[in-house]
Amino acid sequence: MRQLIDKMFGAAFRNEWSEEQHDGAILPDVPGRQPVLTTDSFVVDPLSFPGGDIGTLAVCGTVNDLAMCGAEPKYLTCGFVIEEGLPMEQLWSVVCSMQSTAEQAGVQIVTGDTKVVDRGKADKLFINTAGLGFVEPGHAARPGRIQANDVVLLSGDVGRHGVVVLAARDGLGFETEIESDCQPLNHATRGLLDAGVEVHCFRDLTRGGLATGMVELAGTAGLACSIREAEVPVREDVRGACELLGLAPLYVANAGRFVAVVSEAHADRAIEVLRGLGGDHQPVRIGSFQAGRGGRVTLQTTAGSERILDMLSGEQLPRIC
C-alpha cells in the first residue's frame, strides 16, 4: 500500500524536490524577503462536498494563511494519515484536487509523509499541510499594524462553506444549490499589495467565521471595532440553510473569504482593485476600528440595535475543515 501511495504522490506532485527523494527539500534563497511559515491540519467530514474536497481545503487553507501575512506562498509540505481500507480512487481524487489547486495558487508541493493506521484508528483521511512563503518587509500584514480609523473590507458573501459541509454530512437536500467558497486568496492579496494599497492586516474567516475573526483581530490589535450587519452579504439560500441548521451566518466557517484592514484613505482604491481582479470577490466596506476596549466588537444590527460580538459561543462546529 505504501509503495502505491508513494507512486501516486510521486506522479501527482512531480518536481525537482520530490524527485530527489531526500529527507527534505533544499530550496532556492529569496534575497531580501522574509520567510513566513504556517500549518493547518484538515479533518473535514465528509471528505468531499459541493465545491471542493479535503485536498482543495488543505491547499487553500495553508496558501491563504500565508497570503494573510502578506506573503507570496511558494512551497507546501503535506502529511497524510490514512485509515487502512480507504479506497485508492478516493485518495487519488484528493491528490489530484491538491495538485490542481496548487497549480491554481502557483505553489509547489515539495515534500511529504504518509502514515497508514489500522481500520478504526482514524476516520478515512487526515491531511496536514505546512507552507513556506516570502514577504517583502514592507508588505508584512499583521494584527499589530492595525490602527484606529482603519477600515474593514470584506471580500464577499459569508457562510457558504460551513453550510455546505454540514448539509453534505447530514445528507440534507439543499446542498446541491450552494457551493463552498473554497479558493486560494493569494492572487487577491497580492493584487492589493502590488497596487500599493496600504494594507495593515488580512484575516481569512475560517473556523468561527467573520465574528470570531474580528474579535480575534480586535483583541490582538488592542482596539475596538464596529461592524454594520446590513453591509455583510449573505446569500438568501445560505441564510435559509442557516436558519434550518440553527446557525448564525456571521459565525459560520468560510474557506475563501477574508477581511482586509486598510487605511481609511486607501479603502475606495482597495475595493476598486479587488473588483478589477475578477473572480469571486465582491468587496464591501463593513466597518472600522476605533480606540476603545481591546477586543470589543460591536455589531450594528439590521434591526437598528447594537450588540457586542463574542467569540463563537457554545459548541464549535466540529470537522468543518
Q: Is 5 in the site for its own copies (CB under 8 A)?
A: no
Grid cell of 74 as nine digits: 511558494
Q: Does 142 bind its own copies (CB under 8 A)?
A: yes
What is the C-alpha separation between 287 and 290, in angstroms, rounded? Answer: 10
| x-marked contacts with its own copies along 115-134 as a string, rule CB under 8 A | xxxx-xxxx--x-x-xxxx-
All three cell numbers of 286, joined, read 463593513
Residue numbers 8-37 binding its own copies by CB under 8 A: 20-37
Choose between 163 and 218: whose C-beta lies nearer to its own copies: 218
Contact pattern from residue 188 through residue 227 relative to its own copies, giving x for each residue in contact according to CB under 8 A and a dash for the rest: --------------xxx-----------x---x-------
The answer to whether 228 contacts its own copies (rule: CB under 8 A) is no
Sequence-distant (6+) residues with CB within 8 A of 262 are 150, 151, 153, 192, 197, 198, 199, 200, 270
Nearest to 255 by CA among 162, 174, 189: 162
Round to the nearest angstrom and report the end-to-end CA distance of the chain.
26
Determine which residue in the list 10, 85, 144, 276 makes contact with its own copies, applying CB under 8 A. 144
316 binds its own copies (CB under 8 A): yes
The angle that helices 54-68 and 88-105 make with each other, rounded to 10 degrees, is 30
Nearer to its own copies, 80 or 229 (CB): 80
Q: Does 308 bind its own copies (CB under 8 A)?
A: no
Tell me the number of residues near its own copies by CB under 8 A.
69
Q: Would you count residue 186 as binding its own copies (CB under 8 A)?
A: no
Secondary structure (3-state) at 303: coil
Residue with Cβ nearer its own copies (38 or 226): 38
Answer yes or no whether residue 75 interacts with its own copies by CB under 8 A: yes
The yes or no reply on residue 318 touching its own copies (CB under 8 A) is yes
For residue 199, the Cα-to-chain-centroid distance in whole angstroms is: 18
- Please report which helix (H) or strand (E) contains residue 115, including its range: strand 108-117
The conformational region for residue 52 under phi > 0 = left, psi -120 to 50 = alpha, else beta, is left
Rule CB under 8 A: which residues touch its own copies? Answer: 2, 20-43, 64-66, 68-69, 71, 75, 77-81, 110-118, 120-123, 126, 128, 130-133, 135, 140, 142-144, 202-204, 216, 220, 316, 318-319
